[in-house]
Amino acid sequence: MPTPIDDVRTDLEDTFSGPNLFYFAAAGWSTYVMVLSRADRMARAEFDHHIDMKAGNEIANICGYLVPGVVTPSIWVVGLATHDRTLAGAGSAVIESILVTVTTMSALKFATGRAWPVVEDGGDHSLDFHPFQNGIAAWPSGHTATTTTITAALTAYYPEHWWIPAIGYPLAAYLGVGMLDRNSHWASDAVAGMLLGQAVGYSIGRNFRRRVRGISATADSLVVAPLSGGAGLSLSGTW
Q: Please give the C-alpha separations between residue 118 and each of 34, 57, 188, 221, in angstroms, as whole numbers.
A: 18, 17, 16, 44
Residue 238 pLDDT > 70: no
Per-residue confidence band for 232, with pLDDT thresholds at 50, 70 and 90: low
- In this predicted model, what pLDDT tens digit does every residue of 10-44 receive, in sequence order? 999 999 999 999 999 999 999 999 999 999 999 98
Flag whether 2 is in a domain: no
**Residue 5, H or E segment:** none
Flag whether 63 is in a domain: yes
For residues 115 and 137, give the distance between their C-alpha atoms in angstroms, rounded to a whole number. Answer: 6
Mean pLDDT calculated for residue range 48-52: 84
Q: What is the DSSP string of 131-182?
A: TTTSSS-SSS-HHHHHHHHHHHHHHHH-TT-THHHHHHHHHHHHHHHHHHHT
Residue 220 pLDDT > 60: no
Flag whether 126 is in a domain: yes
Q: Do residues 128 and 141 lie in contact, with contact meaning Cβ atoms separated by under 8 Å?
A: no
For residues 189 and 192, give the distance between their C-alpha atoms in angstroms, rounded to a whole number. Answer: 5
Flag whether 221 is in a domain: yes
Flag whether 18 is in a domain: yes
- In this predicted model, what pLDDT tens digit does every residue of 159-217 receive, in sequence order? 999 999 999 999 999 999 999 998 899 999 999 999 999 999 999 999 999 999 887 54
Q: How far apart are the two ends of the chain, measured CA to CA in Å?
A: 25
Question: For position 229, what pLDDT does the model report?
Answer: 53
Neighbour count for residue 165 (Cβ, 10 Å): 16
Q: CA 194: distance to chain centroid?
A: 4
- In this predicted model, what pLDDT tens digit does every residue of 61-82 receive, in sequence order? 999 999 999 888 899 999 999 9
Flag whether 3 is in a domain: no
For residues 75 and 56, give the distance between their C-alpha atoms in angstroms, rounded to a whole number. Answer: 26
Flag whether 136 is in a domain: yes
Flag whether 70 is in a domain: yes
Q: Which residues pair with 129 in a beta bridge?
A: 114
Question: For position 236, what pLDDT does the model report?
Answer: 54
Question: For position 52, what pLDDT does the model report?
Answer: 84
Range of the domain at 98: 8-238
- Count of domains forming the chain: 1
